[in-house]
Structure 1
Amino acid sequence: MASEAANRLDHRAIKPAIGAEVLADKPALLSGGHAAELRALLEERGVLIFPRIDFSEAELVAFTKTLGTYAPDRDDEGVTPISIDPAGGRSADYTRASFFWHFDGYMNAAPILASILCAKVLSESGGETEFCNTYAAWEALPEARKRQIAGLQAVHAMAGAQRAVDPEPSYETLQQWLEVPRRTLPLVWTHRSGRRSLVIGNTAVNVVGMDPLESFELLVWLREWATQERFHYAHSWSRGDAVMWDNTGTLHRVRPYPADSGRLMVRTKLAGEEPLG
């Protein structure tokens, strides 16, 4: 029993409805011995913080692989750099949409399960990453609002996210956005576990069958509800921090920071395991 207690994952809750700080050291995390506990804790808390763990890129990939199926963005299975440095071209332009609340992989049949972000270079101002728990937000919704949105669907598209960055795009730019597939998704995701979460964010263009302004009003109301303080956590980064979040039950955004700040994060992702339905 003493050995079992010694091997238990050490963590502390950050807020009642969201976030936990994981206190395990790097060798323990890379061993995979805490993988099942980490996955369960991630679903429960939404966001896990690994303070100053300082993973190298290779270690970050190795750690990710202990938790599920690694979903690299690159053919060489390397990490993905995250920056808005203008030298990054179109990729940097698209990354600016991360200043607004969203979840990743809406176009995938099974959205990304989780992402892990590691801080390599920080901006002197801004750059905090914010999260909200969309499981908790659903559970706390007034019953009348639950009845209202049950069965409703919304169209999600890149144009929705990019329009926040470029409100008056050229027609050519709009056509580029429209090349990315759109999807019609339920406003409420009933997971295999039986839990439910809200499916909202800046990719949501309209609620199917609703007047455009009424649709906009509902989406804004749901976003403000889900991102209120009790469901919200903002992470102020230290170099070497790693943060993992449940992409199926949270929204996230980064607070604006100067494009020339040199801020650089690296990210890995876990492949989705459950269709959004």
Structure 2
Amino acid sequence: MTVATTTAQLKAEHIKPKIGSRILNSKEELLSGELAAQLREELEARGILVFPKINFDDAEQIAFTKTLGEYAPEGPDGGPSKITLDVKENPASAEYLKGSLYWHIDGTRNEVPILASLLSCKVPSPKGTGNTGFSNTYAAYDALSDEDKAYYDDLRVLHGPWASLFYYEPEPSLAKLKIMQGIGEKVLPLVWKHASGRKSLVLGCTCHHVQGVDHLESARIIHGLREWATGSEFTYSHEWSVGDLVIWDNTGTMHRAEAYDPNCGRMMHRTKLEGEEPWAVE
């Protein structure tokens, strides 16, 4: 007897020309794993994928994450982590997550940054607040002039989570600064030359200074490139509805939570994919 086999086809529509795709496949198709290779390809090409009102529960979100690569457990029970600024719901991390309100890439102090994060909306903030913004730093690099690429390609930047502290608390106590500095820091290339041959900018609020240039030029480079990469051409702001899921490529995008009232109940559940490529540190 011959058994008929079917292969699901990805149903995707572009959100903006240089960033984002909306995925319209059913929950069953996504959980089957048949779309994994196509989703991975679309994610690298587009930076972020949006699954409108897919309504994964925690177990389904974990199962879906595992179809795409190696699952990176976060919580003590291996389940999704709660992402909220509400200290009642997230007493251990709410303070640290204040840095998430500014453009950043996750894992800048790690040898191998995570490949991607998957965020699902359980409780949105009031309309007009609490969006998540994304910046395609592959596309931002590609759009630079050849002259600028030649200048930036070999520069290196010191990153540390402690540098982000001054974005939300300009006058921290010495004790808090020492705690943040204890998390660690790392020198990274300003331009990540990926194994695929593509290049992306490594930016964000963890940047402290560019090595080998004076402090004025360093500040102009860091903040000027951030301004460039977060222009409307390269960015997308997602307004959350209950049940939405968004995946972003952490190796070629920046992201940030947009301001919201920490007491409004906004709640996201996050899963991650283990990294597959170390920083291109020479």
How does the TM-score come out when normalised to structure 2? 0.95
Q: Indicate the residue corresponding to 2:208 in structure 1.
A: 205
* Residue identity in the other structure for 2:112: A
Deviates most, 193-202 or 207-216: 207-216
Counterpart CA distance in 2 for 1:89 and 1:80 is 13
Q: Indicate the residue corresponding to 2:167 in structure 1.
A: 164
Conserved in 1, the CA contact under 8 Å of 2:8 and 2:29? Answer: no
Distance 1:8 1:205, change over 3 A: same
- The aligned runs of 1:1-277 (5 Å cut-off) are 7-87=8-88, 88-125=90-127, 126-277=129-280
* Residue identity in the other structure for 2:265: G
* Residue identity in the other structure for 1:78: G
Distance 1:29 1:223, change over 3 A: same
Give the length in aligned residue pairs. Answer: 275
Deviates most, 126-135 or 86-95: 86-95
Residue-by-residue CA offset, 1:161-204 (whole Å, 9 max, x unaligned)? 12211111111001101111100000000101000000011101
Residue-by-residue CA offset, 1:47-100 (whole Å, 9 max, x unaligned)? 000000010011100100010001111232110000001323341011111110
CA deviation after TM superposition for structure 1 residue 265, in Å:
0.2
SS at match of 1:92: coil
Conserved in 1, the CA contact under 8 Å of 2:7 and 2:34? Answer: no
Following TM superposition, the consecutive aligned residue runs of length 4 or more in structure 1 with deviations greater than 2 angstroms are 3-7, 86-90
* Residue identity in the other structure for 1:58: A
Task: Report the identity percentage.
Answer: 48
Deviates most, 79-88 or 129-138: 79-88
SS at match of 1:164: helix
Conserved in 1, the CA contact under 8 Å of 2:132 and 2:256? Answer: yes
CA deviation after TM superposition for structure 1 residue 244, in Å:
0.3
SS at match of 2:236: strand
Tell me which protein shows more helix as a share of its residues.
Answer: 1
Counterpart CA distance in 1 for 2:137 and 2:111 is 19
CA deviation after TM superposition for structure 1 residue 213, in Å:
2.1
* Residue identity in the other structure for 1:163: F
Deviates most, 208-217 or 225-234: 208-217
How does the TM-score come out when normalised to structure 1? 0.96
SS at match of 1:19: strand
Counterpart CA distance in 2 for 1:185 and 1:90 is 28
* Residue identity in the other structure for 2:15: I
SS at match of 2:147: helix
Counterpart CA distance in 2 for 1:11 and 1:233 is 16
* Residue identity in the other structure for 1:107: R
Counterpart CA distance in 2 for 1:223 and 1:104 is 16
Residue-by-residue CA offset, 1:135-171 (whole Å, 9 max, x unaligned)? 0000100122111112110000011112211111111
SS at match of 2:29: helix
Segments of structure 1 that go 5 or more residues without pairing to the other structure are: none
Q: What's the RMSD between the two structures over aligned residues?
A: 1.3
Counterpart CA distance in 1 for 2:38 and 2:105 is 23
SS at match of 1:214: helix
